Amino acid sequence: MNVIRLAAIAWNAAFLFCLPLSAQRAGSALPSDRIFEAIGLQPSGTACEVGAGNGELSIRAASTVGSAGHVFASELGEAHLKTLRDRVAASGKANIMVVAGDPEKTNFPDAGCDALFLRDVYHHFTNPASMDAAIFLALKPGGRVAIIDFTPPGKEASKPEDRAKDGMHGVTAETVVGEMKEAGFDVVSSERPDQRWFLEVFVKPLR
């Protein structure tokens, strides 16, 4: 292995080490196309993202559903909402509606989402039972949810409100599955390639 290749590997490792923990895990681990495929996102459909951040995934979803489709993207707090609105405006995607989020509800239309996704967000839910119930309400029957998140570095927090704290930052896939089942969802698929991140896909039953 030559010196240039060794230097490149070292630089990439240093760059990754400097990234925020969530970006090292779920944020950069899964291509958007794979997420949209998992939830069956189709042209002319309605996609919903909880905790859209800078809008990267919502903007990509807007391209997937096309001009005949719709995207609802939520965020908490005025500063985050402004960042999201500015990014959406700059994208030129007229089919995205930015929604003010809430710690315990989605604020999406009831039965308005064909598919819903959240990335590096679930572990921030302080009342997951309420949020999961709200997600259930927002989805159409047969609609799917993709939850991409990462596991804590050590023991999982005993209370949901502590899942974002240092030393316990994250949530286990088993906990997410259990809580979503309690809300009435069925499991579609699970991907847990390593201890860094996971993808859990759920469906709202037709019954």
- Mean of pLDDT values over 34-63: 97
Report the share of the chain in percent with pLDDT over 90. 81
Are 156 and 189 in contact, with CB atoms under 8 Å apart?
no
* Domains, in order of start, for the chain: 22-203 (3.40.50.150)
Mean pLDDT is lowest, of 11-25, 86-100, 142-156, 163-177, for 11-25
**Sole residue written with tokens 């003010």:** 100
Q: What is the pLDDT of residues 114-123, one digit of tens each?
A: 999 999 999 9
Tokens of 76: 């908490």
Q: What is the pLDDT of residues 142-193, one digit of tens each?
A: 999 999 999 999 999 999 999 999 999 999 999 999 999 999 999 999 998 7
Question: What pLDDT was estimated at residue 196?
Answer: 78
Please give the Cα distance from 198 to 151 (Å, whole number): 8
48: left (phi over 0), alpha (psi -120 to 50) or beta: beta
Question: What pLDDT was estimated at residue 59?
Answer: 97
3-state DSSP of the chain: CCHHHHHHHHHHHHHHHHCCHHHHHHHHHCCHHHHHHHCCCCCCCEEEECCCCCCHHHHHHHHHHCCCCEEEEEECCHHHHHHHHHHHHHHCCCCEEEEECECCECCCCCCCEEEEEEECCHHHCCCHHHHHHHHHHHEEEEEEEEEEECCCCCCCCCCHHHCCCCCCCCCCHHHHHHHHHHCCCEEEEEECCCCCCEEEEEECCCC
Please check the confidence at residue 45 and state whether its pLDDT lies above 80: yes
Phi, psi of 129 (to 5 degrees): -60, -45
Q: Per DSSP, what are the bridge partners of residue 139? A: 113
Question: What pLDDT was estimated at residue 207?
Answer: 79
- Mean of pLDDT values over 45-58: 97
Question: What pLDDT was estimated at residue 146?
Answer: 98
Report the share of the chain in percent with pLDDT over 70. 86
Question: What pLDDT was estimated at residue 195?
Answer: 67
| Mean pLDDT computed over every residue of the chain | 88
